[in-house]
Amino acid sequence: MGEDFREIQEYLRRIVGNVEKVIVGKREAIELSLLALLCGGHILVEDVPGVGKTSLASALSRSLHCSFRRIQFTPDIMPSDITGFSLYNQKTGDFEYRQGLIFSSLILADEINRASPKTQASLLEAMEENQVTVDGVTYPMAKPFMVMATQNPVDFVGTYPLPEAQMDRFLLRISLGYPEFADERNILRRFKEEDPDIKPVARVEEIVALQKAVRKVHVDESLYDYIVHIAGATRKHPDVTLGVSPRGTLALFHTAQARALYMGRDYVTPDDIKPLTEPALAHRIVLKPESKLRRVTAAEVLGDILGRIPVPMGRQE
C-alpha cells in the first residue's frame, strides 16, 4: 500500500463493507475487529449465542483471503491439541512435529472459558509472541495472526473464568448484541434464499504492510500524556482494586493509531482515543466487591475518568 491515506481509508472501508454483507447493522464491531487486526492484536467477544460471532470471524477471513479455523473449546480439549505435539516416527527414528489447531491466520476460539485453565494458558505464547514452542523448538505463526475468542456471559455451568493475566492479552473486548428491528428484518430478507457470497477484497500481504504503517502514524506529545493520565487514573479510582496495566496503555495507544489510519489520517487526535477507551481498557479493570454490589461498571468508571481529565488542544477530526 502507498502513503495516500485517503486511498488507505477507502481500502479499509471496502473490507468493512464486504463483511457487512453478512453482519448486518454491526459496523462498529466490524471496525473494531479490523483495528485489532491492524494492530496485530486479539479480540474477546462476550455475547449471547446466535448473534453472529462465528459469522464475523469467517466473513473477515474470507474478505482478506486468509486461512481461518474455528476451535470449539470443551473441558476435554488438551493443550497439545492447540499447540501441536511431537510424534515418534519408527521408520526414521526421529520425532516429527505435528501442527496444532492454532496454526491459521484467523482463529475463532469459541467458548474459550469452557476449556481448562491449562488449555487456556496454551494460547498465551501464541497470542503474545506470535510463536509456539514445543519440546524446545519454536514455530512461528502465520502473518497476519489474530485470535478472536468468545465466551457466553449468561451460562456459567462448566466454565472457567479467564484470569486477569489472560484477559490482559486481548487488545479489545467487543459485543455484537441483538440487532435493531430494521436490521433483523433486513437479515431475514438477505438470508431468505441463500447466504450472501463473500469474495476477497484484500490481500494478506497488504494487511501486513498496513500493520507496519499503523506504527508510523504520528502521535503528539500531549496525547502521550493524555493516554497515560487515563491509564493512571484507573489505578487510583475509588471503585477499582486493579487498574489498567502498561500493556493496556499500549493497547489504547496503538489502537488509536490504527483508528487514525482508518479515518484517512497520518496523525492521532483525542477523538481517536476517547471512543476506544472502553473496548481497550474496560476488560482490564477489576472493580472492588462493594462497587459491584452498587452495580458500578468498568465503563462507568472510564466515563467518569474521561470527564475529569482535560482533553489536549490540537488537531481534531
Residues 243 and 194 in one domain: no
Are residues 176 and 281 both part of a single domain? no
Angle at 207 between CA 206 and CA 210, to 5 degrees: 90
Q: How confident is the model at residue 307 (pLDDT cuts 50, 70, 90)?
A: very high
Domain boundary among 187, 207, 227: 207
Pair 13, 142: CB distance under 8 Å: no
- Domain assignment present for residue 168? The answer is yes
Q: Is the dihedral of CA 246, 247, 251, 254 positive or negative?
A: positive
Structural domain count, the chain: 2
pTM for this predicted structure: 0.91
In this model, does residue 130 exceed pLDDT 60?
A: yes
pLDDT (mean) for 195-216: 92
* pLDDT above 50 (res 180): yes
192 and 289 belong to one structural domain: no
Report how far residue 60's alpha carbon sits from residue 187's, in angstroms, rounded to the nearest whole number.
18
Q: In whole angstroms, what is the distance from residue 243 CA to residue 284 CA?
A: 7
Give residue 228's identity as a one-letter amino acid code. V
How many DSSP H helices and E strands does the chain contain? 15, 11
Cell numbers representing residue 223 in the block: 496525547
Q: Are residues 190 and 297 in the same domain?
A: no
**Assigned domain for 85 exists:** no
Measure the CA angle with vertex 63, ends 53 and 283; round to 5°: 35
Q: Are 162 and 278 contained in the same domain?
A: no
- pLDDT at residue 113, as a whole number: 86
Residue 136 lies in a domain: no
Residues 56 and 159 in one domain: yes
* 108 and 240 share one domain: no
207-241 pLDDT, tens digit each: 999 999 999 999 999 999 999 999 999 999 999 99
Domain that holds residue 158: 5-74+104-118+142-207
Can you give the CATH number for the domain in which 54 is found?
3.40.50.300
Q: What is the CATH number of the domain that holds 281?
A: 1.10.8.80
| Residue 167 three-state SS | helix
Q: Does residue 93 belong to any structural domain of this protein? A: no
Residues 110 and 33 in one domain: yes
Sign of the dihedral through C-alpha 1, 19, 143, 204: negative
Across residues 280-284, what is the average pLDDT?
96
Within this chain, do residues 196 and 224 fall inside the same structural domain, yes or no? no
Instruction: Clarify whether residues 221 and 200 are in a common domain.
Output: no
Of the residues 164, 183, 207, which one is the last residue of a structural domain? 207
Question: Could you tell me if residue 297 is inside a domain?
Answer: yes
In a shared domain, residues 19 and 109: yes
The set of cell numbers assigned to 259 is: 483508528
- Give the contacts of 162 (CB within 8 A, at least 6 positions apart): 44, 112, 113, 120, 151
247 within a domain of the structure (yes/no): yes
Q: With a cut of 50, say whether residue 289 has pLDDT above it.
A: yes
182: nearest Cα among 19, 51, 25 = 25
pLDDT tens readout for residues 81-108: 999 988 888 888 788 889 999 999 999 9
Digit-coded pLDDT (tens) for 240-269: 999 999 999 999 999 999 999 999 999 999
- Alpha helices (H) along the chain: 5-19, 27-39, 53-64, 79-83, 117-121, 124-129, 164-167, 181-190, 204-214, 221-236, 246-262, 270-273, 277-281, 289-293, 298-308
Give the pLDDT of residue 136: 85
Residue 105 vs residues 143, 167, 261: alpha-carbon distances, Å: 6, 21, 22
Name the pLDDT band for 158 (thresholds 50, 70, 90). Answer: low
Residues 176 and 229 in one domain: no
Provide the percentage of residues in the chain whose pLDDT is more than 70. Answer: 96
Q: Would you place residue 3 in the very low, low, confident or very high pLDDT band (cuts 50, 70, 90)?
A: low
Contact at 8 Å (CB) between 12 and 262?
A: yes
Is 228 among the domain residues? yes
> Which of 179, 207, 235 lies at the terminal end of a domain, its last residue?
207
Domain-embedded: residue 132: no
The pLDDT of residue 2: 46
